[in-house]
Structure 1
Amino acid sequence: MIESEVLNLKNVLARLLHYSKTIKEISQIHSQIVTSANLSSADRSFLVSRLLFFLCTVSNAPHSLDYAKKIFNLVPKPSLFMYNAMIRSNSVKINEPLWCESLVLYKALLHDDISPDCITFPFVLKECAKRVDANIGRSIHAHVVEFGCDFDVYVQNSLINLYTQCGILEDAGRVFDEMFNRDVVSWNSIIVGFLRGGELDKALVLFRQMKERKNIITWNSMITGLVQGGRSKEALEIFHEMQVLDDNKDLVLPDKITVASMLSACASLGAIDHGRWLHSYLERSGIECDMVIATALVDMYGKCGSIERAFDVFHAMPKRDVLAWTAIISTLALHGFGNEACAIFEEMVATGVRPNAVTFVALLTACAHSGLVEKGRLCYDVMRQDYCIEPEVQHYACMVGILGRAGLFSEAEEIIRNMPMKPDFFVWGALLGGCQLHGNVKLGERVSRFLIELEPENHAFYANLCDVYSKAGKFNDLKRIRSLMKAQEIQKTVPGCSMIEVDGVVYEFSVKGSPGLLMDVPKSLLVVLSNEMKFESYSSNSLWWYQTVGGGDFWS
């Protein structure tokens, strides 16, 4: 056969391989490659390499990786290209049994005296990141330097991802600082790493220093990290920045992740105007309002006090999962609609949706806020008996809260004694709340002292004890505790604050003052309210005295 015909056969087989859909078709091409006498060894090696690459990176046929592995094991001396294809394929697969395979292949590559290149290392490092194995990762890092790949941007990005996944932020920062060329992936990787590690301020500094144009991943990472870190007001400010054109460049439009994170921020801030804008943006932009987004809308409207809108979104959902039902139950619980929450729960069960542990936390909270003792007991029993959900510490805290608010202190203490885990501050706090409500000084004092022993420098426990003494009229004990706090220099570390949204702007009011706000008007209003409350208190006390002591006929 002449050379042009041989070349034509090679091209035909390569083209057929490109259009193959099934393992059967691929195996037929493989048999042609192996059996054809009209192919040179170099052409056959080329086609086998292409076959491996196709199976590892392109083919969606079932068991394509298994077939590639069989072919690879039959090759007497695999090339670097073949090794890279196999390493890459195994590193991107999510099947757990294959997680070690790329490292085994990398070890075999070194054993065959083949030098890895800048394509090899990113996938080997990705394997280490998935395994969260810093020790092997550091060894691979040493090989990166040894084989001269330490200044390749893709390898450096992979190293940053490895160290951030392993929680070694110092090493991630060192790799980032040593980079001569950084792309948007480099910045995103280090910012996400600091956000995951709880280093929000460092992440913000890097975000501000970022020279490359921020993409949607950058914005979403920063917004989501701040929301999850409890800094929703700053997340709102970042979102506003995202909507402003930067150096006449194209605007980065919010996507599903942005909207979901911002709805969570609005829920925590009570920023209903921003929440309504996001809802309207969803409708204008054509972003799919799936169950995740719809559930976030229900949660936002519920926490912002718009129960009717929360129900509108809930009823408009074509399909509702357990999270959606839990969100609407939590909304009712938050606003004290205990009976309605129980009714929604019954509707949820009737539709075939199985409640989870979080659902029962919401339901028990609803019973606690509404004083529904019997329904609370019933929900607690149903959770354990019908759904085999063992109570967690949150459920115990809710039950103690239900019983404590009802004044059933013996039963509440019995629950605490029988807890399989150590009661936390929320459990004891729920009991203490009942003591404050019913004036149970003896138990309240005991619980407060127990909490103070656990955390002697926590001002909140001293404040609770002061409240118990104040409501019981034990002012000498109250003065003694305040003197003790002063002597031990126990102060409130985080000043109390509240936030309110006015005309789309979220204002924060703190006990230490609010920079940038005119406080004269709020202060004067507080004085007026305080005087009115004192007058009402005096009037009600006088009414009680005259009716019980001075003679009720005076008011008749």
Structure 2
Amino acid sequence: MVEPKCPTLKATITRLIEEFKVLKELKQIHAHIIISPKLSKAHRDFLTTRLLFASAFSESGSLCFATRVFKFIQNPTLSVYNIMIRAYASKTRDSDNTHNFEPLLLFKQMLFSGISPDCITFPFVIKECAGRLDSRVGCSIHGEAVKFGWFCDVYVQNSLVSFYSECGFLNSARKLFDEMPKRDVVSWNSIIIGYLRGGNLDMALELFRRMEKRNIISWNSMITGFVQGRRGKEALQLFHEMQNSSNDNVKPDKITMASVLSACAYLGAIAHGKWIHGYLSRSVECDVVVGTALVDMYGKCGSVERAYEVFKEMPKRDTLAWTAMISAFAQHGYSKEAFSTFEEMEAMGVKPNHVTFLGLLSACAHSGMVEEGRWCFNMMKRVYSIEPQIHHYASMVDVLSRAGLFEEVEELIRSMQMEPDVFVWGALLGGCQIHGNLELGERIAKYLINLEPMNHTFYINLCDIYAKSGRFDDVKRMRALMKARGIRKEVAGCSLIEVDGLVLEFSVEGCPVPVMDEIVVVLNLFKNEMKGESTLHYYYGILLDSNN
């Protein structure tokens, strides 16, 4: 029998590395590479590098095993360092297997070994700095990129733009972007996402309009950014523009649809939401993320029954899906249904999170379910080891304050592990307002006014408490104080109505569409009618006279 030649053995081991299914097989292959006398050093180094890559990035691999293989290599090459730096910068760190600063330590070790980094090394090291928001080290890596002559590389520059954007240095990111001799779609996306993250939606939109070529990430970033920036109408407009954009040739995906549904939920645009639902059934697979967004949309638009139908039709439901349904029930006063859904969730073995209990506490507050509220608040910590956060305390204070249990509220606040915020005190003030608790309400309101002297809400709450107690001189005094400080009640919000698929917005400041003039005419007719000066009757009389 003729012994196989080294190239054949090399090819065989390469194929085995590519086809391995479990980590045990990879370990056996590694052992064979080490002990085989038929492999040259060059072939052994090549196969070890391939095995390192497979272990670091395959689903069946292990970063820990890749680390052990790396430590076994006596003189790592640039490719080996790049694999490990990329692996540590890209993979999610497990709680029991944290590898603090490995990409940066590996980068430092590589420099000390006399190996020069390349255009593959820098983007992953810079990504690590961005993930840690480590501006000091990131700036030093920027200097290293200049030193080694890779600063003008488009991939390195893209990573730097993203780094400065994520760290909040938008001026530096924009300066880099403007000076780039060559830009690709990643360059544009990086700076646009930076402006979106910083809340400068108008500048993001201006840059978005200037792109010559946009991909799905560009569109999704803009739509999601405008939804999160509470500019839902423009988010829907961007979605329709995306559909009609023939130049970009991109189609909406699950992320797009979830964001658009969030825009519909914010606007209360249920007709739009129903159209999106129909579009989903024709074009995009409805997974748990999209299904949850549908439940949330229908719930926030007031169609709890339809939300429940979608929820029951979902083949798979995770914690977020159950929580969305519970929150929808709670928001509209279906407290019993919220708790029944929670019991079903527990029976299915799905673990609730802190938002789940927030929804249940909200249901208790709106329905006066004090005992259930106490049960929820205690259960989240005792059974599920979820430490109450500040908004849980605010909700529990709301539950107890609405019931007039002020001594229990004060005891709860004293037990808090963190400093109470304006939402906690505001919930207590709301309870004092409901029950006319003058002494406590006055004390809390004055504290909140000192904390936020320009917030009109606290002045108005205190005025209402004074009015209920018959202290109208104090009401006048507070009104005068508001006037002296230039405090006026802000517009609480706006009304949204959907007509023929068009979302119209109204507030006391008017409406940005021409239809407002027609509305004013109709309102004036109603006003005249109520005053007994009927314009309609006047025209009707003229008509009768002309007929006679």
Aligning the two structures, in what range does the TM-score lie when normalised by the shorter sequence? Answer: 0.7 to 0.9
- TM normalised by structure 2 equals 0.83
Quick one: distance in 2 between partners of 1:531 and 1:423?
A: 51
Aligned to 2:315: 318
**Pairs within 5 Å for 1:237-256:** 237-245=237-245, 248-249=246-247, 251-256=249-254
Deviates more, 1:134-143 or 1:518-527: 518-527
Equivalences for residues 537-552 of structure 1 within 5 A: none
d(CA) in 1 for partners of 2:485 and 2:235? Answer: 37
Q: How many angstroms does 1:70 deviate by?
A: 4.5
| CA distance in structure 2 between the partners assigned to 1:374 and 1:79 by the alignment | 66
Note if contact 1:65-1:89 (Cα within 8 Å) is conserved in structure 2.
no
Aligned counterparts of 1:431 and 1:11: Cα–Cα separation in 2:
78
Partner of 2:231 in structure 1? 231
Q: Choose which of 268, 279, 282 in structure 2 pairs with 1:281.
A: 279
Residues 347-386 of structure 1 aligned to structure 2 (within 5 Å): 347-386=344-383
Tell me which amino acid in the other structure corresponds to 2:47. L
Structure 1 SS opposite 2:465: helix
Whether contact under 8 Å (2:52, 2:66) holds in the other structure is no
CA contact (8 A) 2:214 2:248 kept: no
Deviates more, 1:413-422 or 1:253-262: 413-422
Q: Is the 8 A contact 2:33 2:48 kept in 1?
A: no
TM-score by length of 1: 0.82
Partner residue in 2 for 1:162: 163
Residues 466, 472 of structure 2: 8 Å contact kept: yes
Distance 1:91 1:383 in 2: 35
SS in structure 2 of the partner of residue 508 of structure 1: strand
Paired AA for residue 237 in structure 2? E
Amino acid at match of 1:18: T
Question: Which letter maps to 1:243?
Answer: Q
Q: Give the 5 Å matches for 1:443-462.
A: 443-462=440-459
Q: 1:193 to 1:13 in 2, by over 3 A?
A: farther
Aligned to 1:551: none
Listed as ranges, the matches of 1:462-473 within 5 Å are 462-470=459-467
Deviation at 1:533, TM superposition (A): 11
Q: Give yes or no for contact 1:393–1:421 (8 Å, CA) kept in 2.
A: yes
CA–CA separation in structure 2 for the residues paired with 1:366 and 1:358: 13
CA contact (8 A) 1:222 1:235 kept: yes
How many residue pairs align between the two structures? 517
* Aligned 8 A contact 2:491 2:508 in 1: no
**Quick one: structure 1 residues 252 and 401, their matched pair in 2 at CA, closer, same or farther if it must change by over 3 Å?**
same
Q: Secondary structure at the match of 2:475?
A: helix
Relative to structure 1, the CA distance from residue 331 to residue 137 in structure 2 (aligned partners, 3 Å threshold; closer, same or farther) is same
Deviation at 1:187, TM superposition (A): 1.1
Structure 2 CA distance for aligned equivalents of residues 65 and 436 of structure 1:
59
Q: What amino acid is aligned across from residue 233 of structure 2 in structure 1?
A: K
Stretches of structure 1 that go unaligned for 5 or more consecutive residues are 1-7, 535-556
Q: Residues of 1 paired with 2:67 and 2:102: CA distance? A: 13
- Tell me, what secondary structure is at the counterpart of 2:495? strand
Tell me the residue number matched to 2:8: 12
Deviates more, 1:63-72 or 1:431-440: 63-72
SS of match in other structure, 1:500: strand
Which residue of structure 2 lines up, in the alignment, with residue 54 of structure 1?
50
Q: Deviations over 1:186-212 (max 9, x none)?
A: 11112222333333333233222323x
Is 1:343 matched with 2:340? Answer: yes
Q: Whole-Å Cα distance in 1 between the matches of residues 82 and 493 of structure 2?
A: 58
Q: Any residues of structure 2 matched to 1:32-43 within 5 Å, and which? A: 35=38
Q: Alpha-carbon deviation of 1:53?
A: 3.9
Q: Which residue of 2 aligns with 1:146?
A: 147
Shift of 1:13: 4.6
Structure 2 CA distance, aligned partners of 1:359 and 1:168?
36
| Kept after mapping to 1: 8 A contact 2:30/2:48 | no
What is the CA distance between 1:139 and its match in structure 2? 1.8
**2:452 partner amino acid:** E
- The answer on whether the counterparts of 1:56 and 1:89 sit within 8 Å (CA) in structure 2 is no
Matches of 1:371 and 1:88, distance apart in 2: 54
Deviation at 1:235, TM superposition (A): 1.8
Cα offset for 1:231? 2.6
Q: How does 1:64-463 map to 2 (within 5 A)?
A: 66=65, 70=69, 74-75=73-74, 79-95=77-93, 97-98=98-99, 100-211=101-212, 213-245=213-245, 248-249=246-247, 251-285=249-283, 287-463=284-460
Cα shift at 1:521: 4.9
Contact 1:401/1:430 (CA < 8 Å) preserved in 2? yes
Tell me, in whole angstroms, the C-alpha distance in 2 between the residues paired with 1:468 and 1:485. Answer: 16
Query: Hey, what's the Cα distance between the residues in 1 that align with 2:424 and 2:101?
Result: 44
2:537 corresponds in structure 1 to none
The correspondence of residues 516-527 of structure 1 with structure 2, limited to 5 A, is 516-523=513-520
* Aligned-pair CA distance for 1:379: 3.3
SS at match of 2:515: coil
**Percent of matched pairs sharing the same residue:** 56
Contact residue 99 and residue 131 of structure 1 kept, 8 A: no
> 2:6·2:38 contact (CA, 8 Å) conserved in 1?
no
SS at 1:499's partner residue? Answer: strand
Aligned partners of 1:446, 1:100: CA distance in 2, in Å? 50
Matching residue's letter, 1:348: M
The match for 1:486 is 483
What is the CA–CA distance in structure 2 between the aligned matches of 1:438 and 1:529, rounded to whole Å?
38
Aligned counterparts of 2:197 and 2:12: Cα–Cα separation in 1: 46
User: 1:509-552 CA deviation, whole Å, 9 max, x = no partner?
Assistant: 12222222433454566678899999xxxxxxxxxxxxxxxxxx
Give CA-to-partner distance per residue, 1:474-523, whole Å, 9 cap, x none: 54433332222121112346663232222222222122222224334545
One-letter amino acid of the structure 2 residue matched with residue 478 of structure 1:
V
Task: Single out whichever of 253-262 and 136-145 deviates more from structure 2.
Answer: 136-145
Moved more, 432-441 or 233-242: 432-441
Q: Work out whether residues 91 and 99 of structure 1, in 8 Å CA contact, stay in contact via their aligned partners in 2.
A: no
Change (3 A) 1:481 1:521: farther
What amino acid is aligned across from residue 15 of structure 1 in structure 2?
A
CA deviation profile, 1:13-53 (whole Å, cap 9, x unmatched): 55334312343345545655x645xx6xxxx53x3453244
| SS class of match (2:264) | helix
Residue by residue over 1:89-119, the C-alpha shift from the partner in whole angstroms, topping out at 9 and shown as x without a partner, is 5544445655644434433443344433323
Tell me if structure 2 keeps the 8 A contact 1:322–1:356.
yes
Letter in structure 2 aligned against 1:379: C
8 Å contact from structure 2 (residues 467, 475) kept in 1: yes
Please report how far the alpha carbon of residue 255 of structure 1 lies from its aligned counterpart in structure 2 after TM superposition. Answer: 0.8
Counterpart residue identity of residue 226, structure 2 = L
- 1:300-319 deviation line (CA, Å, top 9, x unaligned): 11110101101101111233
Q: Tell me, what secondary structure is at the counterpart of 1:460? A: helix
SS of residue paired to 1:489: coil
Mind listing any 5+ residue stretches in structure 2 that lack a counterpart?
A: 532-548
